Amino acid sequence: MIGTILQNLLRFLLLVFIQVFILNQITLPGNVNAYINPNIYILFLFMLPININKQLLLLLSFICGLTIDVFSSTAGMHASACLFIGLMRPGLVNLIMPRDGYENTVELTLPGLGFRTFFIYTSTLVVLHHFVLYLIEAFNFLNFGDLLLRVIISSIATLFLITLSQLLTLRKR
Amino acid sequence: MRNFFLLIRRYNFILIFLLLQGFSFFLLTRNNGYQRAAIIGTSNNITGQIFDAYSNVTDYLTLGIANATLAKENAMLRQQDSSALYSKLFEIVKVEDSASLQQYEYISARVINNSVKNVNNYLTLDKGSLHGVLPEMAVISSDGVVGIVKDVSEHYSTVISLLHRATKISSKIAKNNYFGSTIWDGKSPEFAKLYDIPSHAKLEIGDSILTSTYSGIFPRDILVGTVSEIGNNGQSFKDIQIKLSTDFRTISYVYVVRNLLKAERDSLETRTIEDIQE
């Protein structure tokens, strides 16, 4: 139990560090810059234990988003988008579960779920998160096509990084 | 009453969601004021220190560019210094200059956090209220306009970058004084748009765009950028793209500009408007 908490806390700190001090600092040339914005920190919410209390999940989503907000002067933007992950995750986990159900010990990781299920699980939540995020950011500023392009390109970048990190850090048992 | 509690128990998940979501939007919609200072203000000091440490490391990466910029500026300042001028008189008599009054003060600051990726970008500076920085002060670099101070804590301040959808900088064309507003279009951090220039105004690619004093925030004649593209959409205003003179990706040292006569001007202008409305 303590081990799980510690593990998740460390993962949280590491992901926030990568997000704030590496990903947010990279600038790409010209117009491309505005479109590629990977948000790897949400991986923390994806990997929380499967049997986590729903209310606690919401609270952690909020704190996770707010932490990023504080570091990027975007009061409430990431918090709001992360809350949607917290809202949808329990339902989605139920949906992707096989008919006989997962054991409570299964880990929501690439080796734990298998590539197909893991991809469906993460891509749904990533697109949802990015859509809300850029919708709030753009508001009535950019046109809708531009917004969708941002969501799609950034989602692909995020998914790529998430999959890569899973392949690099986790081994099949 | 019992039913009410049952209802809350049954839907507590969605209620917590709505509550937290409401709080997020509360943070989002409120632009400034007491709560922001209380919530973001305290954390500003903490995150400020973290970014301070971070930029202590990353500053080394841009040291070359920063040195070149500072050296260039030093050279320029040296040229203006009296020791660089050849005296035509046998003796210079120093006189306290009573013909002019100091209107602007410059506070130098280091950029400890910066973004160019978002639709709304901010910078964090390592100078705050202790050093005399106040909200709504102009921020410039040696290359040109940077932004406007938003929130201030004791040791740090956040700046709304020119690369922000709410930033509108009152500007003019250097050679003929037609004035308009510079607004960022949310795309490349190198370019912005200049609006409200009438289509009969004469303009060529490469013309300088400077700040005007209409907003009362920026000193006059600070470089904003140069014209890079002129389109004519058949309407009464020109469609102008300008290349910003400040490189927001590499910016590391800036000046906060304090207008010593701003309060006087503001109170005069509000009085005039109020008098007319009465």
**Tens of pLDDT, residues A35-48:** 888 999 999 999 99
pLDDT at A44: 94
Tokens of B150: 């938003």
Q: What is the largest CA-CA distance in chain A?
A: 51
Percent with pLDDT over 70 in chain A: 90
Find the residue in A nearest to B25 (Cα). Answer: A76
Is a pLDDT exceeding 90 seen at residue A94? no
Q: For A24, which of B14, B43, B117 is closest by C-beta distance? A: B117
B116 touches B197 (CB < 8 A): no
Given the cut 0.90, state whether the ipTM is greater than it. Answer: no
pLDDT of B91 reads 40
CATH of domain A2-169: 1.10.1760
Give the A-side interface with B, CB within 8 Å: 21, 24-25, 27, 30-31, 33-34, 37, 54-55, 58-59, 62, 65, 69-77, 79-80, 83, 86-87, 136-138, 141-142
What number is the average pLDDT over the span A61-88? Answer: 89
Nearest to B119 among A21, A70, A137 (CB): A137
Total beta-carbon pairs less than 8 A apart between chain A and chain B = 90
Residue A11 has a pLDDT of 93
What average pLDDT does range A45-72 have in this prediction?
Answer: 90
For residue B116, the distance in angstroms to the closest alpha carbon of chain A comes to: 7
H helix and E strand count, chain B: 5, 12
Residue A99 has pLDDT above 70, yes or no: no
Query: Which residues does chain B have with pLDDT short of 70?
Result: 30-45, 75, 78-102, 233-234, 278
- Check if the beta carbon of residue B171 is closer than 8 Å to that of residue B212: yes
Q: How far is CA A164 from the centre of its chain?
A: 14
A25 vs B27: CB contact, 8 Å cut-off?
A: no
CB B124 within 8 A of CB B264: no
Q: B32, B118, B228: which to substitute to probe chain A, counting the most A Cβ within 10 Å?
A: B118
Given an 8 Å threshold on Cβ–Cβ distance, is A75 in contact with B40? Answer: yes
pTM listed for this prediction: 0.67
Looking at residue B104, its pLDDT comes to 79
Query: Cβ of A136 and B28 within 8 Å?
Result: yes
Judge residue A10's burial from the number of C-beta atoms within 10 Å of its C-beta, 0-12 exposed, 13-18 middle, 19 or more buried: exposed
Banded pLDDT at A80 (limits 50, 70, 90): very high
pLDDT score for B33: 44
Q: Is B247 exposed, middle or buried (0-12, 13-18, 19+ CB in 10 A)?
A: middle
The H or E element containing residue B152 is strand B145-152
Alpha helix segments (H runs only) across A97-142: 110-113, 115-138
Whole-angstrom Cα distance, residue B109 to residue B163? Answer: 19
Q: Averaged over A75-83, what is the pLDDT?
A: 89
